[in-house]
């Protein structure tokens, strides 16, 4: 679940590990973006989106959104667990700081400077210098596959990123869809290759661990894909196919509920 197509990164990671999994993607185009909303409003919409997915009786629910995790994880777990394990998405600050830094965290303005993110920095950065970088408009540009807006938002965030940063945490799942463009914008001539840390792979692996699942054999049957748009069955949003993660999904399983 997510407000929009930011969930594609985690979805693609699950699909690669378990091509036989039947996937339900629950998005909220009626309420997107969640970032500017109050924490109470984010939680209300996240609960609605989660319950739409829960009606399909999933084995687990992945919150493919940092904003929803920051604001709504306790409420979602209180509503759905223990029947449905809920896996949140946390910025990969701990592995990023392990490299020694300096580190930048690219995140939505709502997440940047939040008590949640500051708590993660205090807990896991272990003295490494961390710069919090608000990325105005980037999630929305990625959501609509607006090339010019993506370039402008990436360039603006790059201007706010200290020159000596060696590692960047992608603190919004939308950003993982344009990771290489972010790398290109930040890579300094003559510097060592920039290290980017997303969350999708770790979140997918954690979901499978919670279920006691192992990756499926290569010969496993292909899983289906069901898409819910603010609770209504619908198609995968067209901008999703702009990204490799979105194109992977129809290629590995039939779309359900497309009409």
Q: Are strands 225-229 and 86-87 parallel, antiparallel or unpaired?
A: unpaired
C-alpha closest to that of 2 among 169, 207, 139: 139
Q: Tokens 């990625």, residue?
A: 142
Residues annotated as catalytic are 65, 172
DSSP at 191: S
The angle, 0 to 180 degrees and rounded to 10, between the axes of the packed helices 8-17 and 200-210 is 50
CB 27 within 8 A of CB 57: no
What Å distances lie between residue 174 and 128, 226, 246, CA to CA? 25, 20, 12
DSSP string over 225-243: EEEEETTEE-PPPGGGGGS
From CA 13, how far away is CA 43, in angstroms rounded?
25
The CA-CA-CA angle for residues 221, 24, 211, to 5°, reads 70
The CA-CA-CA angle for residues 157, 140, 197, to 5°, reads 50
């Amino acid at each position: 679940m997510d407000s929009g197509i930011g969930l594609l990164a985690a979805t693609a990671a699950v699909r690669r590990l378990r091509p036989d999994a039947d996937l339900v993607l629950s998005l909220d185009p009626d309420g997107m973006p969640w970032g500017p909303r109050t924490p109470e409003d984010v939680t209300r919409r996240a609960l609605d989106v989660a319950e739409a997915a829960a009606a399909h009786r999933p084995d687990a629910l992945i919150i493919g959104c940092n904003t929803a995790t920051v604001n709504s994880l306790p409420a979602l777990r209180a509503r759905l667990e223990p029947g449905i394990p809920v896996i949140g998405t946390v910025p990969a600050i701990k592995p990023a700081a392990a490299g020694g830094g300096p580190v930048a965290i690219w995140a939505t303005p709502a997440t940047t400077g939040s008590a949640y993110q500051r708590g993660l920095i205090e807990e896991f950065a272990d003295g490494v210098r961390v710069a919090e970088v608000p990325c105005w408009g980037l999630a929305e540009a990625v959501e609509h596959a607006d090339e010019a807006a993506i370039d402008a938002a990436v360039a603006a965030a790059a201007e706010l990123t200290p020159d000596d940063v060696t590692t960047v945490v992608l603190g919004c799942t939308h950003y993982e869809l344009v990771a290489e463009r972010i790398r290109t914008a930040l890579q300094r001539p003559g510097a060592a290759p920039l290290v980017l840390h997303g969350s999708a792979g770790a979140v997918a692996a954690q979901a499978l661990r919670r279920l006691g699942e192992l990756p499926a054999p290569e010969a496993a049957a292909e899983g289906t894909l069901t898409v819910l748009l603010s609770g209504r069955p619908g198609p995968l949003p067209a901008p999703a196919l702009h990204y490799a993660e979105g194109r992977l999904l129809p290629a590995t399983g039939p779309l359900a509920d497309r009409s």
